[in-house]
Amino acid sequence: MSASSALWLSAKGAAFSLGDAPTTAPGPGMIAVRNRAIAVNPVDRMLPAIGDLITPWLRYPAILGSDVAGEVVAVGAGVTRFRVGDRVLGHAVGIEKDRNDPAEGAFQTVSLLLEHMASPIPDGLAFEQAAVLPLGLSTAACGLFQPDFLALQPPQADPPAQGETVVVWGGSTSVGANAIQLAVAAGYEVVTTASPRNFDYVLGLGAACAFDYRSRTAVRDITAHLRGRRLAGVLAIGAGAIRAGIDIAGASQGRRFVAVATPPAAFDRVKPGPGRILQLVPAVFGMLTANVALALRARTAGVTTKMIWGGSLLGNAVGPMIYADFLPSALAEGRFRAAPPALVVGEGLGAIPAALDRLGQGVSAQKVVVALPA
């Protein structure tokens, strides 16, 4: 393996900086991947400012990032699914509590991936497009399939109709695009929300119908659609999604469970550096009051809510179920799309901070990606 470089976060609240990365051989059950494309996620923007709240265990210097696609350059002991030279995508889990290892972060030229959190990329799927999948896919899978969330039946090639409906609030997000496809692949009807300009997009991913999340009648309209149907649960993505999900589940027959991807308060305005505490206090207060109000609303409606952690599948059966059993053939056979479309904003690790700024400006049914040419 040749020398590797990385985009380091040297300390809590520091700015990103480019530097060398040690060449680490993959351990048992791991592969080393020379990254050819990296996608960025909202959490990558939040960690420099509020990493002490989200990932208090994180050791510095750290290498952030979750979404990679590239070529296998080394395999560890016991690896059977991959060989050197294979094209793969994978969820880099370096910030996870049980890993906490910069060598397993995405923002570097060579990342170590767990074999069971990686999938081959079929011919014809570009690295840049493959890189859109991992964290969105993992988060959706955690909410839909983990036993302590919606506990849906597993996705498969020819699923039997389950006779139940999943509500994906926020279907045009990266998480939502994956959730729609996974729930459909598991045999469920999917009702979703998006801006009207993205209705065709979410219907194309398999949703049965779409509603505008900004409409004042969205909750009522979805509840009306669910009348006579059996709810399998709600996946709540986007601002306001938890409250909407509670109201929908509380008015429906079936599983009154809301799996939550988006926390009830935004921390976007909190920036690292001086003044952080002053920005943090109202955000934390907003989170606490929103949590209390939503807990009361859920209790009154007889609804259970639970926050998803998109990396939790790495330690349970859902990780291999998605990355080893389902995704490889589903992608190769065109049963699952790498969605949303990639928005490639630059080349090289040095382009990642600007990519994070671009994500902060907002995207619509797109994933911000940085290419790493060979």
Ligand X SMILES: NC(=O)c1ccc[n+]([C@@H]2O[C@H](COP(=O)([O-])OP(=O)(O)OC[C@H]3O[C@@H](n4cnc5c(N)ncnc54)[C@H](OP(=O)(O)O)[C@@H]3O)[C@@H](O)[C@H]2O)c1
Residues that bind ligand X (CB under 6 A): 41-42, 135-136, 139, 170, 172-175, 193-195, 198, 213, 237-241, 261-262, 308-310, 363-365
Q: Closest by alpha carbon to 135, among 179, 87, 197, 185? A: 179
Residues 6+ apart with CB under 8 A from 362: none
In angstroms, what is the minimal distance from the CB of 85 to ligand X? 31
Closer residue to ligand X in complex, CB, 119/174: 174
Q: CA-to-CA distance for 183 and 164, rounded, in angstroms?
A: 10
In angstroms, what is the minimal distance from the CB of 135 to ligand X? 5
Q: CA-to-CA distance for 178 and 200, rounded, in angstroms?
A: 15
Closer residue to ligand X in complex, CB, 79/283: 283
User: Do 91 and 135 meet the contact criterion of CB atoms below 8 Å apart?
Assistant: yes
Closer residue to ligand X in complex, CB, 61/240: 240
User: Do 31 and 82 meet the contact criterion of CB atoms below 8 Å apart?
Assistant: yes
In angstroms, what is the minimal distance from the CB of 104 to ligand X? 17
Q: CA-to-CA distance for 37 and 132, rounded, in angstroms?
A: 9
Closer residue to ligand X in complex, CB, 109/178: 178
Q: Closest by alpha carbon to 74, among 22, 126, 24, 19? A: 24
Closer residue to ligand X in complex, CB, 213/326: 213
Q: Which residue is nearest to ligand X (CB)?
A: 238
User: Do 135 and 310 meet the contact criterion of CB atoms below 8 Å apart?
Assistant: yes
In angstroms, what is the minimal distance from the CB of 308 to ligand X? 4
In angstroms, what is the minimal distance from the CB of 217 to ligand X? 15
Q: CA-to-CA distance for 70 and 268, rounded, in angstroms?
A: 30
In angstroms, what is the minimal distance from the CB of 340 to ligand X? 6
3-state secondary structure of 127: helix
Closer residue to ligand X in complex, CB, 194/331: 194
Q: CA-to-CA distance for 122 and 130, rounded, in angstroms?
A: 9
Instruction: Take residue 327 and report the two structure tokens written for it.
Output: 């995704």
